[in-house]
Amino acid sequence: MIKRKLVMLTAVFATASLLMVSCGSKKEPEPAPVEDTVDNTATDSIDDTTSGNETTTDTSDSTGGIEGIWNSIDSMRDDAIKAGADKAAPDAFKAAEDEYNRLKNGNASEEELLALKARYAALKAFADAKAKKEKIDSLGLASYNQKVYDEGSNLIAELDENKNISSAEFSSKAGAANASMTAVLETGLRTKAREVRGEAVAAQKKANSVKCFVSRKAEYETFVNAFKSGDQNFVTKNPEGALEKYTKAKDGFENLYTEVSAARAKAQAAIEEAKKRVAASEGTAVQADIDKPLGNEPVEGIEAEDTKLLEEDDYTQAASAEVDLSDEAVPAEDLVEKVENGINATLDALEAK
């Protein structure tokens, strides 16, 4: 009996030990480290089979039969024409059109149709590559990824010069050229946008230094809004739109600073000139007192000190000069004008008497 109890007790302890090992000692799995989101679109080099820009034969259209493949061919052909393939590669485009007409009027196999679709896809990729290169050149972005730009440019030049290239080789190199130019354009636009944003901030500080936000408020706010729009475009992955808005803000602030600074300089010069004239007049008066002092003798044309020149006035007409400054609906410029008009009216009334 005692032996049986010992066996049962040993079994209980063993079971408890296993439960403790399996439940108590197991650690929670640590979450995978979150890596910083790094955009590696621009690389030092790019393979001919870059993802997203290949023009390989797609057999997915075969599920719709021959008619479905023809529909996809017509769609790709339209895309190629819209991209300007007929102008970017006129010889290759004409060859594709000849093949299109031949297959359209005959009994084309599925393989032939898919190859034709791939040709139009390659033509579109080549036209896109040329368009992107043109934009890169116009914006001066090549230096931001010079090596990839050179690779893409060489491929474009090769396809332009080699008229006897096979369809398969044209497709491969057109896709690679388009991938290269896409990488350069995206990298360049993002980097350029950041640079111009910094320039816009500096230009705004210069505009603030001459109080453009007061003297040219409406224009100033326009450029502030353009800058904010640039930020919105940048965070929504539209670097080209961001660059456009940042450039508008930068140029606008710079123009405001130049124009307002010139106006302030002109006004300051006028003030300095007036000071010189006042100083010269004071010097002349002092010298006249030295040369011919007036003394206490009466002088013709100058009244005695106690002479009454004007009649007494109760200033009732001056009431028109009063302005209610609590009227917030009146802009500051209008308040100044009203005060000046009121004062001028009072002075005119006094002079009339």
Residue 210 corresponds to which amino acid? V
- In the 8-state DSSP scheme, what is residue 320? G
Q: 187 and 84: one domain?
A: yes
| 101 shares a domain with 65 | yes
For residue range 325-345, what is the model confidence (pLDDT) as tens digits?
334 333 444 544 554 566 556
DSSP annotation string for 233-273: HHHTT-HHHHHHHHHHHHHHHHHHHHHHHHHHHHHHHHHHH
Contact predicate 110/62, CB 8 Å: yes
Quick check: 99 pLDDT over 50?
Answer: yes
Residue 125 confidence (pLDDT): 98
Instruction: Return the pLDDT at 9.
Output: 38
pLDDT at 45 over 50: no
Please indicate, yes or no, whether residues 129 and 227 belong to a single structural domain of this protein. Answer: no
Q: Which amino acid is at 109?
A: S
Residue 181 · residue 162 · CB < 8 Å: no
Q: Which domain holds residue 170?
A: 59-191
Nearest Cα to Cα of residue 151 among 168, 173, 166, 131: 173
pLDDT reported for residue 325: 34
Higher-scoring residue by pLDDT: 312, 93: 93
pLDDT for the residue 241:
97
Q: Which of 166, 191, 216 is the last residue of a domain?
A: 191
- 318 inside domain: no
Structure confidence by residue, pLDDT tens digits, 174-207:
999 999 999 999 999 999 999 999 999 999 999 9
| Domain end residue (candidates: 175, 191, 207) | 191
Task: Work out the number of other CB atoms within 10 angstroms of the CB of residue 224.
Answer: 17
Which two tokens mark 170? 């044209």
Nearest CA among 317, 199, 217, 312 for reference residue 260: 217
Question: Between 227 and 165, whose confidence is greater?
Answer: 227
Q: Are residues 125 and 187 in the same domain?
A: yes
- Asked if residue 31 is part of any domain, the answer here is no
Same domain, residue pair 63 and 108 = yes
Residues 67 and 114 in one domain: yes
pLDDT in tens, 124-178: 999 999 999 999 999 999 999 999 999 999 999 999 998 888 999 999 999 999 9
Q: Answer yes or no: is pLDDT of 269 > 80.
A: yes
Residues 97 and 221 placed together within one structural domain of the fold: no
Q: Are residues 64 and 187 in the same domain?
A: yes
pLDDT digits (tens, 9 = 90+) for 228-258: 999 999 999 999 999 999 999 999 999 999 9
What is the pLDDT at residue 333?
44
Residue 230 sits in the same domain as residue 166 = no
**Among candidates 273, 282, 347, 287, which has minimal Cα distance to 313?**
347
φ, ψ (nearest 5 deg) of residue 328: -70, -15
216 with 102, same domain: the answer is: no
Q: Identify whether residues 171 and 261 lie together within a single domain.
A: no
DSSP 7-30: HHHHHHHHHHHHHIIIIISPPPPP
Whether residue 14 has pLDDT greater than 50? no
Tell me the backbone φ, ψ of residue 141, rounded to 5 degrees.
-100, -5
Q: Which residue has the higher pLDDT, 213 or 47?
A: 213
DSSP state of 227: H
Q: What angle, rounded to 10 degrees, do the helices at 110-139 and 146-161 form?
A: 130
Q: Name the domain boundary from 267, 296, 318.
A: 267
